[in-house]
């Protein structure tokens, strides 16, 4: 790990408990080095010195610490103790086992514990920022982590600590410490608790100073196995059938954070192999898939131009992590019309919205009808913690809405057997009552009847009705079944229900 670069030039405390100061010559003698080397160490912050008038002075303990290879402890603008204490308290909330001791009241120790905490809590991302709280005019520093899609506040701290903390991350990520005006990002690979951890670090300047987001990608825990994603048997069958087609467009749709990338990777994993050329355009490439030629979006190259370049690679399969504009959508449709199997992500509320969106942005309905083979729409919902959930009766109005949504796909709502549970909270689930997430999904296969409706310009809700008549289970109905089985709550499912 890199050492903090800051060199303290603060005025000396009147009474020093750390012993007598020594001159630079004495320090050089103590280290048995040369003056230029010493000057370089001093300049880079490896040695802590104090400037008194025009002379450098040193505490022997700092020189000895350098000899032993201990990192310099930069002086902090505020007490870091309360932050460490809150990290420890959060740790206790989520762990039954012993809390690891926190050594050193410094930025390095705080950062290590933020990392450990995030790994223990299975957080997907960590946020360090400063912002106003309701009813106060002074911004405070905040440390938050996202567990199962929900941001949780770990600590509030003195805002003056934000920059030293962000600097520590910037050092680890090899980002420019001196520039606080431009956004920047990089990746770090660390080993935490014996497992490799891939972290994407982004630093963004805000009105209250730089803020940091660290996204964790634990590649050992990710599963891209379609068969293990718990799609319904009928959905899985439709997906496998679509993947066997030589050409066409398969769209994965849903809002941000609905698991589109995971599903796309699972599809990609099925397609890629030594017998085919599979290319992708992603922003960024978050996981490497064997046999896929994955390319990141280049900030200065227009998306459509990158798509054209990839099509010149003579691919069989093309995956586009987004369709940002009409030009790109047209290219994807053209590719699908000319013998490529194209996977793409879009942002619509439900499956039938994809066809309407493509027509809206200018793709001729005839081409939409011809190319789109399958749409997968999904959400990620939180799963009740199996350790602390407790049996309960669902609220009457929620139950009624759930049965209505269910009976729209399955005529016999009485077939729903209720073994409902509600969340409680224990150390296993960070007191949230939920642990982990699961996909709920709907797959819309473009049948001949649906293709005809698309060509005639019929609206999304009509396409949806036909799909339901032809056996599509909506993701809300999928979720209702899971809630009835005690796997999740109705609130969790129904917040995704389209408005009546």
List residues near Zn ion by CB under 5 A. Answer: 385, 387-388, 426, 428-429
Q: What is the DSSP letter of 228?
A: G
Q: Among 495, 439, 447, 500, which residue's Cα sits nearest to residue 469?
A: 447
State the minimum distance, in angstroms, from the CB of residue 427 to Zn ion: 7
Output the six-digit token pair for 238.
């439709």
Shortest Cβ distance from residue 432 to Zn ion (Å)? Answer: 8
Minimum gap (Å) between residue 398 Cβ and Zn ion: 22
Give Cβ neighbours of residue 113 (< 8 Å, ≥ 6 apart): 84, 87, 88, 91, 100, 102
Whose Cβ is closer to Zn ion: residue 211's or residue 385's? 385
Q: Is residue 441 a contact partner of residue 475, using CB atoms and an 8 Å limit? A: yes
- First-to-last alpha carbon distance for the chain, in angstroms, is 55
Comparison of 40 and 390: residue with beta carbon closer to Zn ion = 390
Task: Tell the residue number behind the tokens 């896929």, with chain if given.
Answer: 292
Beta strands in 366-433 (DSSP E): 372-384, 390-391, 421-422
CA 369 – CA 355 distance, rounded (Å): 8
Is residue 204 within a helix (H) or strand (E), and if so which, with residue range? strand 195-206
Shorter beta-carbon distance to Zn ion: residue 32 or 96 = 96
Please report how close the Cβ of residue 271 comes to Zn ion at its closest, in angstroms.
38
Q: Residue 269 or residue 432: which is nearer to Zn ion going by CB?
A: 432
| Nearest CB to Zn ion, comparing residues 21 and 147 | 147
Q: How far is the CB of 251 from Zn ion (least distance, A)?
A: 36
Min dist CB 420 to Zn ion, Å, is: 17
Smallest distance from Zn ion to CB 93, Å: 11
Residue with the shortest CB distance to Zn ion = 385
Give strand ranges (E) for 285-407.
292-296, 317-320, 341-346, 372-384, 390-391
Q: Tell me whether residue 96 or residue 312 sits nearer to Zn ion (CB atom).
A: 96
In this complex, which beta carbon is closest to Zn ion, that of residue 148 or of residue 445?
Answer: 148
Please, what is the minimum distance in Å from the beta carbon of residue 485 to Zn ion?
A: 18
User: Which residue number, 298 or 387, has a Cβ lying nearer to Zn ion?
Assistant: 387
d(CA 44, CA 2): 11
CB of 421 to Zn ion, least distance (A): 11
The tokens for 415 are: 């077939």
CA distance 179 to 429: 39
Residue 500: burial class (beta carbons within 10 Å; 0-12, 13-18, 19+)? exposed
Strands 184-192 and 292-296: unpaired
Residue placing its CB nearer to Zn ion in the complex, 40 or 387: 387
């Amino acid at each position: 790990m890199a050492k903090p670069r800051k060199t303290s030039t603060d005025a000396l405390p009147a009474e020093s408990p750390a012993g007598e100061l020594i001159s630079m010559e004495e320090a050089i003698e103590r280290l048995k080095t040369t003056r230029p080397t010493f000057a370089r160490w001093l300049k880079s912050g490896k040695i802590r010195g104090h400037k008194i008038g025009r002379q450098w002075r040193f505490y022997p303990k700092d020189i000895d610490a350098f000899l032993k290879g201990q990192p310099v402890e930069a002086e902090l603008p505020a007490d870091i103790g309360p932050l460490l204490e809150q990290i420890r308290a959060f740790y206790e909330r989520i762990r039954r086992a012993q809390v690891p001791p926190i050594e050193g009241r410094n930025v390095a120790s705080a950062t290590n514990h933020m990392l450990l905490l995030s790994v223990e809590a299975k957080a997907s991302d960590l946020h360090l920022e400063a912002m106003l709280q309701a009813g106060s005019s002074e911004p405070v520093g905040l440390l938050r982590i996202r567990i199962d899609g929900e941001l949780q506040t770990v600590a509030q701290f003195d805002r003056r600590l934000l920059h030293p903390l962000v600097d520590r991350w910037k050092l680890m990520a090899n980002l420019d410490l001196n520039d606080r005006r431009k956004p920047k990002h990089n990746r770090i690979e660390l080993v935490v608790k014996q497992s490799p951890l891939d972290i994407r670090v982004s630093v963004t300047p805000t009105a209250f100073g730089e803020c940091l987001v660290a996204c964790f990608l634990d590649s050992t825990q990710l599963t891209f196995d379609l068969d293990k994603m718990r799609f319904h048997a009928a959905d899985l069958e439709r997906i496998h059938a679509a993947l066997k087609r030589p050409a066409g467009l398969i769209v994965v749709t849903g809002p941000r954070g609905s698991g589109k990338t995971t599903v796309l990777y699972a599809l990609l994993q099925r397609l890629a192999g030594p017998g085919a050329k599979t290319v992708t355009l992603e922003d960024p490439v978050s996981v490497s898939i064997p046999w896929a030629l994955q390319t990141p979006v280049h900030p200065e190259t227009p998306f459509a131009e990158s798509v054209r370049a990839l099509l010149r690679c003579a691919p069989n399969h093309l995956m586009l992590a987004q369709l940002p504009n009409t030009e790109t959508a047209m290219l994807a449709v053209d590719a699908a019309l000319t013998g490529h199997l194209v996977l793409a992500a879009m942002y619509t509320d439900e499956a039938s919205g994809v066809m309407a969106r493509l027509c809206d942005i200018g793709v001729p309905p005839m081409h939409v009808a011809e190319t789109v083979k399958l749409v997968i729409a999904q959400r990620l919902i939180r799963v009740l913690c199996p350790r602390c959930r407790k049996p309960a009766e669902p609220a009457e109005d929620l139950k009624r809405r759930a049965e209505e949504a269910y009976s729209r796909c399955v005529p016999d709502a009485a077939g729903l057997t209720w073994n409902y549970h509600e969340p409680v909270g224990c150390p296993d689930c960070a007191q949230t009552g939920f642990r982990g997430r699961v996909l709920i999904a709907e797959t819309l296969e473009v049948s001949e009847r649906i293709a005809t409706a698309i060509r005639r310009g019929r609206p999304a809700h009509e396409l949806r009705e036909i799909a339901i008549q032809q056996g599509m289970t909506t993701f809300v109905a999928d979720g209702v079944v899971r809630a009835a089985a005690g796997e999740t709550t109705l609130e969790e499912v129904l917040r995704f229900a389209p408005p009546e």
